[in-house]
Amino acid sequence: MPPETRPAQPVARAGVRLGVDVGGVRVGVARSDPAGVLATPVETVAAGDACLPRLVALAAEHDAMELVVGLPRSLSGGEGPAAAGVRLFAGRLAAALATRPVRLVDERLST
């Protein structure tokens, strides 16, 4: 296919993203480099009342363009109680981060 007739490839915006791994006791936070190639651990935050304010502060500190929250699904794609809890947490995080998007990402087959 000549280049002018190929479908346009979506272009990923450059910028730091924070990855959020929600657990019952702790929430892991990592950050990407601006190109989105390399992820580095940032902090482990205790789950609880102070968690959301700390994530808001980390987003500002790292000037994150968005936060990516891992959604735990079964291999068949189904969602159980853990996924429901993560969806609830992501909704509260999105409300606390009114100026930065929060995106859920399927974490099946990730390590």
pLDDT one-digit tens code per residue, 42-61? 999 999 889 999 999 999 99
Q: Which two tokens stand for residue 107?
A: 């974490």
36: CB partners within 8 A, 6+ apart? 12, 14, 15, 17
Q: Domain 14-106 is of which CATH architecture?
A: 2-Layer Sandwich (3.30)
Tokens of 67: 């936060």
Domain ranges of the chain: 14-106
Residue 72 above 60 pLDDT? Answer: yes
pTM (predicted TM-score):
0.84
